[in-house]
Amino acid sequence: MTDVRIQPSILAADFANFAHEFDRIATADAAHVDVMDNHFVPNLTMGQPMVERLQSLNKLPLDLHLMIADPDRWAPQFAEMGVFSVTFHLEAATAPATIARNIRAQGARAGVALRPGTPFAQIEELLEHFDQLLIMTVEPGFGGQKFMPETMPKLRQAREWAKRHGSEIWLQVDGGISADTIGMAAEAGADTFVAGSAVFRGEPEAEIARLRQLATEHRHAAH
């Protein structure tokens, strides 16, 4: 497994032709799927039927990002679909460790996400229960937003935590990731990168390769 993972966000894809769009990103490590319920965030995207359909395409592993209320109830149900990974927001959860356990019981990786304003200290004691930590680098809800460099100290805290504990947790970033910003996130400790517009607006295969190379170079420079 590479130490750099590129996961295009299909929020930036052509919703009318997902099979073709998945073919365009075939060299990616996974497809990032944003599920929004218009409650936790002010946007509505797709629900369980659409995720089931995407899973049935069997093109790439699906990395679900649940921007929804009541993940205690819903996250395990999404995991039941056979997806690769399910990430929910700490801010919406009642019992985060229990949700993680229930996700893993379905065979999926368990991830937890933090909004830009949520401090690392709020998840630190629970992080051992998770396979992935998503540091949002924009406010969740809409694609195409500008990267927030002020979230990088939180990413460094997570990297230091992982080093201290010998943890293999994946550190994911999502929001405004492009060739201009991926180096900053890689140097701060990210190893898993969600990019939407940067990938789909041009030639996806070339852009995925470019992002992977830049992230790898900056990660090696940081070590």
pLDDT for 65 beyond 90: yes
Q: What is the CATH number of the domain that holds 38?
A: 3.20.20.70
Strand partners, 136: 174
Per-residue pLDDT band for 1 (boundaries 50, 70, 90) equals: very low
pLDDT, tens digit, for every residue of 168-198? Answer: 999 999 999 999 999 999 999 999 999 999 9
pLDDT, tens digit, for every residue of 8-21? Answer: 999 899 988 999 99
Is residue 34 part of the annotated active site? The answer reads yes
Give pLDDT, residue 167: 96
Give pLDDT, residue 47: 82
Average pLDDT, the chain: 93
Q: CA of 54: how far to CAs of 67, 109, 186, in Å?
A: 18, 18, 29
pLDDT, tens digit, for every residue of 114-160? Answer: 999 999 999 999 999 999 999 999 988 766 679 999 999 999 999 99
pLDDT, tens digit, for every residue of 34-55? Answer: 998 878 877 778 888 889 999 9
Which of the following is catalytic: 34, 37, 63, 191? 34
The number of distinct structural domains making up the chain is 1
Task: Compare 16 and 112 and report the one with higher pLDDT.
Answer: 112
Which of the following is catalytic: 29, 37, 174, 191? 174
Task: In whole angstroms, give the CA distance from residue 152 to residue 187.
Answer: 9
Give pLDDT, residue 223: 63
Residue 54 belongs to domain spanning: 5-222
Q: Which amino acid is at 206?
A: A
pTM: 0.95
